[in-house]
Chains A and B, each alone.
Chain A
Amino acid sequence: MNNRLKEKSSFLSGFFEKSKQNFIIVAALVVLVILFYVLNPNFLNEYNIISMAQSLAPYAILGLGVTFAIATGGIDLSIGTVCIASSVVAGKLYTDGILPLWGTVPVMIIIGASFGLINGLLIAKLKLPAFIATLGTMMVSRGLSAIIVNAPNVFYPTGTAFNRLFSNYNGFPSGILWVLAFMIICMYLMYKNKVGRYILSIGSNEEATRLSGINTDKYKIIAYVLTGIGAGLAAVFWSSSFVTVASATGNGMELDAIAGVYIGGTSAAGGIASVGGSVIGAAMLVVIRSGLNFVLAKYNVSVNSTYVTYVLTGVIVVFSVLIDILKNRKKK
């Protein structure tokens, strides 16, 4: 009887995944913020909060997208370079006067989705391992965009409505609202739409899903297209935050975003995905990067904070996945 009562809920049940993992990483995030604040109270000054919120958007959106690829049991290494490629190619079309500024938005999304489609076809139809297929498109997207643009940088304007809408509205980090909106859309797709249900089923047991009469190839392709759209959207927020975007920037962006997804509780083996966790994981990375800057500066440690960030992020990724593995082992 108790069980029945517990299971009774509205038809929206399951929209927000009921995951303890989420609670744990939110708690870890809060602890980190407090720790950095104690070590250097300046960390929570108004300017830095806005700056962190602003830089969250591209990473969080990359992470939301790639959550779908990872949920199938795959991976997409191309998201970082596809994001930069979308930004520089659209930026080039804009500076050459071919596209109006607003026109760059759909173009970036289309470029991202196209690369996602290519990845999906390679993986689902040609049965390439996801790691190799997306390693290939990662290199191709980086090289190809640099060749097309044929300039070290492209320029985006500042202070326009474009920047206000996607990056900073008179001091308010507008990107964060978009992140929340996309998070809710992704939650809908992942938990309340057939697409997500099938993607999670594929990640859980692809052959059993196929034998249940589901076109698994189609849904795998959709997962990579969604991931690609995430990369294209991330480009919008990247472009609105920076005056110049260089073809050579964004190195390792994909790895940061993927690390955030794993920290967030999405299983690398697929089948289990935490959409909210992906955003929190991205926030964790942003907080670590900024917090370390403040702490190292205050105590006059003459080490490049980027490297310390790598060390700390690496340790956190390994530990958060390890905890998950140990937990599962105990269950069996």
Chain B
Amino acid sequence: MKKTILKMTDISKSFSGVEALKNAALDLREGEVLALMGENGAGKSTLMKILTGIYPKDGGEVEVFGEKVNFKSVNDSQEKGIAIIHQELNMMKDLTVAQNIFIGREYMKLGVVIDDHKMQREAKKLLDYVGVDIPPSKRLGELTVGKQQMVEIAKAISHKAKLLVLDEPTAALTSVEVDELFRIMNELKVQGIGMIYISHRMDEIKRISDRVTVMRDGEYIGTVDTDKTDTEEIVRMMVGRVVYGDKKEKSNCPENAPTVLEVENLNVDDTVKNVSFNLKKGEILGFSGLMGAGRTEVARAIFGADKKTGGKIKIKGEYVEINSPEEAVKKGLCYISEDRKRYGLLLDKSVTDNSVLASIGDFVRFGFIDDTHAREEAEKTNKKLRTKTPSMSQIVRNLSGGNQQKVVVARWLIKNADIFIFDEPTRGIDIGAKSEMYELMEELVKNGKSIIMISSELAEIQRCSDRVIVMCEGRITGELPVKDATQENIMRFAMMR
């Protein structure tokens, strides 16, 4: 048996009280590819960030090449021969390939002048070693994403990396580029380099990995040999039991409810392809799928936040033209982003200011904004939502995630929106506040609102949706009534290509 080069045991990590990892574990042998799998939020990325020294761990042990380590920074892990190829590449697009590879340790002439020629010669050697034909003097930004990834691998090797983490490296690659990447990975295997490969794509995992380790809810679930397992087993390990709330058994939305929103052949560049669906009054329509499946893009295009390249939208039976959020809001739509801080809140403004942002015009009296009336309305609505805030003039930055989310919901209740698009409604919200969010959504549909809920948490989809649409790579791959929306069924559609 091959030598174990990495052993992580009992790793735990919390972020401001929320447990992200507990009893997480992993071991990697030299010259193997270990696939690390798990749902979004299972803790894969956090574990890798601990391995590479980006986050300090709260507890547990990390052993690298038989030596106990406690990395405090990325430099520490780099020195021990660990390199990570990120999902989003971390390189300077305006520098050349060679400059990127040698950034931070440039060759110098006479100690003061950067020796670009020598860097290019050395870079060429590395790229030859990796086996790719990329001119080292080319600007990185002129290369395809796939080629950029090869450069990053070459850079990792130049750091004498013995352990490589690849975080969803194929997400943006063409199939030819994937073949090329796998060829390189196979060569690195021969040279004894161990690789941790994070991916959701079963077919690739079967092709490239030797073993599969599965994580769920921040915990180590198990490790299986790739050639002795199948998709069914891995999916079962990934989803496990239901974590919170019961699965809905049947739709609460009456069958004859009128359709409020129809989307026909929606296209957005190449991220959304021919998406068609409809939403009924009083329905919670769940959008499931893996990260990058194109669900947020669908939502933003319907809401007019991004340009659509094709498709039509009908609201209450009439075709509507929506080219901006302004027009969408006038038609009764609203979009509640997963990234509240960037796309939802005015962080340095008060609860009142945030609550009435979309409807200031309704509070104008004799040409003056009636702030007292606005505050009363904000107070009334936030009280209904049970937003916990010391006062209406509290700055929203100081509220918890769940209460911030309620302030955004209050904004749209005050605006009297009809169709709510929730994008990951409980992201960054602790478990107690989650169920409150679910009750809130149920309350909304009871009052005749309609909801599209994008969620990457299967349990959340099952708990809330009346109907589930599953997307993969920009397409709708399946639609399930809630009674058939088992985790296995959803995952199968989510990985269907």
Interchain CB contact under 8 A, A204 and B349: yes
Q: Is the CB of B345 within 8 A of A208?
A: yes
B349 touches A201 (CB 8 A): yes
> B369, A212: Cβ atoms under 8 Å?
no
A251 in the interface (beta carbon within 8 A): no
Contact A204 to B368, CB < 8 A, known contacts A7-B393, A194-B361, A213-B328? no
Is B369 a contact partner of A211 (Cβ separation < 8 A)?
Answer: no
Q: Are B391 and A201 in contact (CB under 8 A)?
A: no
Q: Please, which residues of chain B bring their CB within 8 A of the CB of A11? A: 365, 368, 370-373
- Are B391 and A3 within 8 A (Cβ)? yes
CB neighbours (8 Å) of B337 from chain A are 211
Would you call A209 an interface residue if the criterion is a C-beta within 8 Å of the partner chain's C-beta atoms?
A: yes
Given contacts A11-B368, A13-B372, A212-B358, whether A204 and B411 have CB atoms under 8 Å apart is: no
Residues of B within 8 A of A12 (CB): 368
What is the CB-to-nearest-CB distance from B330 to chain A, in angstroms, rounded to a whole number? Answer: 7
A100: Cβ under 8 A from any B Cβ:
no
Residue pair A208, B372 in contact (C-beta under 8 Å): no
Question: A204 touching B348 by the CB < 8 A rule?
Answer: yes
Q: Is the CB of B346 within 8 A of A211?
A: no
Is B342 among interface residues, defined by CB-CB distance under 8 A? yes
Contacts of B371 in A (CB 8 A): 9, 11, 13-14, 192
CB contacts (< 8 Å) of A215 on chain B: these are 324, 326
Cβ contacts under 8 Å, A213 to chain B? 325-326, 328-330, 334, 358, 415
Q: Would you give the shortest CB distance from B71 to chain A, in whole angstroms?
A: 27
* CB nearest to B356 among chain A residues: A197
B347: CB under 8 A from chain A? Answer: yes
B303 proximal to A (CB < 8 A): yes
Report whether A198 and B343 are in contact in the complex, using a CB–CB cutoff of 8 Å.
no
Q: Is the CB of A212 within 8 A of B411?
A: yes
Distance of B255 from chain A, by nearest CB (Å): 32
Query: Cβ of A201: which chain B residues have Cβ within 8 Å of it?
Result: 346, 349, 353, 357
Residues in B whose Cβ lies below 8 Å from that of A48? none
Q: Which residues does chain A contribute within 8 Å of B358, judged by CB atoms?
A: 212-214
Given the interface pairs A193-B367, A212-B358, the reply to whether A7 lies near B345 with Cβ below 8 Å is: no
Cβ of A207 under 8 Å from chain B: yes
CB neighbours of A191 from chain B (8 A): 369
Q: Is the CB of A212 within 8 A of B325?
A: yes
**Cβ-based interface call for A272 (8 A):** yes
Let me know if B138 is at the binding interface, CB within 8 A.
Answer: no
**B104 CB within 8 Å of chain A:** no
Residues 135-175 of A, flagged 1 when their CB comes within 8 A of B and 0 if not, give: 00000000000000000000000000000000000000000
Complex partner residue of B346 from A13, A204, A210, CB under 8 angstroms? A204
Q: Is A205 an interface residue (CB 8 A)?
A: yes
Measured between C-beta atoms, what is the minimum distance from B329 to chain A in Å? 3
Binary B-proximity of A9-21 (CB < 8 A = 1, otherwise 0):
1111110000000
Q: Is the CB of A212 within 8 A of B357?
A: yes
In the complex, chain B residues whose CB is within 8 Å of the CB of A265: none
Q: Does B433 contact A (CB under 8 A)?
A: no
How many residues of A are counted as interface, with CB atoms below 8 angstroms from the partner's CB atoms?
Answer: 32
In the complex, A277 has a CB within 8 A of chain B: no
Number of interface residues of B (CB under 8 A): 40
Write out the residue numbers on chain B whose beta carbons fall within 8 Å of the beta carbon of A188: 368
Is there a chain A Cβ closer than 8 Å to B364's Cβ?
yes
Is the CB of B360 closer than 8 A to any CB of chain A? yes
Interface contact A197-B329, CB-CB below 8 Å: no
Query: Which B residue sits closest to A267, measured CB to CB?
Result: B348
**What 1/0 mask marks residues of chain B from 447 to 482 whose CB sits below 8 Å from any chain A CB?**
000000000000000000000000000000000000
Interface string of A300-317 (1 = CB under 8 A from B): 000000000000000000
List chain B residues, Cβ under 8 A from A208: 342-346, 357
- Please tell me which one of the listed residues A194, A214, A272 contacts residue B369 in the complex, with CB atoms under 8 A apart: A194
Interface residues of B in 415-470 (CB under 8 A from A): 415
Q: Confirm or deny: A271 has a beta carbon within 8 angstroms of a beta carbon on chain B.
A: yes
Residues of B within 8 A of A198 (CB): 360
A9/B335 in contact, CB under 8 A: no
Return the chain A residue nearest B361 by Cβ: A194
Q: Does B17 contact A (CB under 8 A)?
A: no
Q: Tell me the minimal C-beta distance from B488 to chain A in angstroms.
A: 36
A136 vs B375: C-alpha distance in the bound complex, in angstroms? 43
CA of A191 to CA of B326, assembled, Å = 22
Q: Which of A268-282 contact B (CB under 8 A)?
A: 271-272
Chain A 173-213 interface 0/1 with B at a Cβ cutoff of 8 Å (1 = within): 00000000000000010011110011011001101111111
Say yes or no: is B305 at the interface (Cβ < 8 Å to chain A). Answer: yes
Q: Does any Cβ of A come within 8 Å of B392's Cβ?
A: yes
The residues of B that contact A211 with a CB separation of less than 8 Å are 303, 305, 325, 335, 337, 343-344
Taken residue by residue from 175 to 203, chain B's Cβ proximity to chain A (1 for < 8 Å, 0 otherwise) reads as 00000000000000000000000000000
Asked whether B111 is an interface residue with its Cβ less than 8 Å from the other chain, the reply is no
Whether B357 and A9, one on each chain, are in contact in the complex, defined by CB atoms closer than 8 angstroms, is no
Cα distance A4–B357 in the bound complex, in angstroms: 21
Which residues of B have CB within 8 Å of A10?
372
Residue from A207, A210, A211, A271 with most neighbouring chain B CB atoms (10 Å): A211
What is the minimal beta-carbon distance from B243 to any residue of chain A, in angstroms? 31
- What B residues does A4 contact at CB under 8 A? 391
Instruction: Tell me which residues across on chain A come within 8 A of B368, comparing CB atoms.
Output: 11-12, 188, 192-193
Shortest distance from the beta carbon of B327 to any chain A beta carbon, whole Å: 8
Select from chain B the residue with minimum beta-carbon distance to A204. B346
B254 near A: Cβ within 8 Å? Answer: no
B273 to chain A, nearest CB (A): 24
Complex: A54 Cα to B392 Cα, angstroms: 43
Scoring B residues 292 to 334 as 1 if CB is less than 8 Å from chain A, else 0, what string do you get? 0000000000010100000000000000000011101110001
- Of B334, B360, B392, the residue contacting A194 (CB under 8 A) is B360
Closest A residue to B358 by beta carbon equals A212
- Nearest B-chain residue to A218, judged by Cβ: B326
Name the distance in Å between B357's Cβ and chain A's nearest Cβ.
5
Rounded to whole angstroms, the CA-CA distance of A192 and B415 in the bound complex is 19
> For the complex, what is the distance from the CA of A271 to the CA of B397, rounded to whole Å?
14
* A332 CB to nearest chain B CB (Å): 8
Q: Per a CB cutoff under 8 Å, which of B326, B347, B353, B367 touches A214? A: B326
Residues of A within 8 A of B392 (CB): 7
A205 lies within 8 A of B330 (CB) = no
Which 5 pairs across A and B sit closest by C-beta, in order of nearness? A213-B329, A204-B346, A3-B391, A212-B358, A11-B370
Which B positions have Cβ atoms within 8 angstroms of A?
303, 305, 324-326, 328-330, 334-335, 337, 342-349, 353, 357-358, 360-361, 364-365, 367-373, 375, 390-393, 411, 415
Task: Report 12 cross-chain contacts, Cβ distance below 8 Å, ordered by A residue.
Answer: A7-B375, A10-B372, A14-B371, A194-B360, A198-B360, A201-B357, A205-B346, A211-B325, A212-B329, A212-B358, A214-B325, A215-B324
Known contacts A13-B372, A192-B369, A192-B371, then 14 further A-B pairs from the complex at CB < 8 Å, ordered by chain A residue? A7-B392, A9-B371, A11-B372, A191-B369, A204-B349, A208-B343, A208-B345, A210-B305, A210-B325, A211-B344, A213-B334, A213-B358, A214-B357, A271-B348
